[in-house]
Amino acid sequence: MRFEGRVAIVTGAAQGIGAATAKLLASQGATVVVGDLTAERAAGTVEAITAAGGTGLAIGCDVTDGESVNAMVATALDRFGSVDILVNNAGITRDDLLYKMGRDSWDAVISTNLTSIFLVCQAAAVPMVKAKYGKIVSLSSQSARGNRGQVNYAAAKAGVQGITATLCQELGRYNINVNAVAPGYIATAMTDATAERVGFRPEEYQKMASEQTPIGRVGKPEDVANAIAFLASEEASFISGQTLYINGGVR
């Protein structure tokens, strides 16, 4: 119960890595605000949390909209009194090669995957600074190192690492740790959709990815959730400004 008495916000927590993280934090004592585009989407994760004996609250939040973000943080404070942990997980893909990518695809990915982190961190940092305590973990990606067909996604995820390094310097004096995780191939609905987009069944695509991974398998959402929970814990109190790659050894 290392998060007993702590309040966490996890964005994009209706499925995949976000849902796994919300459930894990709750299982270790945190009260978890489960954010997603609508409260209805987030409800399934909250149901799983409460069924396991934890405490969760589903909140609809458009992380690209400052007013919506501020309302989510305000609700967490009104209901539970603090915001101690923030996991920035919300994200989308709109893959295409450079010469075919429309401006709308670029803007959507940058807004959802990068600008949102600025907005949510800005809102959550206010109560964290006041309390002189906070843990922020944001989702970057292996694609930050470059990935064909993902110029928008790669740029956003590289930007996450820049935000992380900068906020570490700005917020460290207030006892706030800021880190990022950069998953490789994780079996989620998002990667299944990517497989289908390029003409593969998800299981075929996973097999191809596992053959290129030293560990010999693709990742599971729980693999990433475990690392996020560590970085959000007191065990990682002297770790800040770092990006941890969770990719089975891929270079």
Total H helices, total E strands in the chain:
9, 7
Enumerate the H helices of 28-102 as residue ranges: 39-51, 66-80
Does 185 qualify as catalytic in the annotation?
no
**Catalytic one among 99, 133, 153, 245?**
153
Q: What span, in angstroms and rounded, lies between the C-alpha atoms of 12 and 83?
A: 17
Partners of 251 in the β-ladder: none
Residue (of 63, 31, 61) closest to 46 by Cα position: 31
Please report how the helices 116-131 and 66-80 are oriented relative to each other, as an axis angle in degrees rounded to 10: 30
Active site positions, annotated: 153
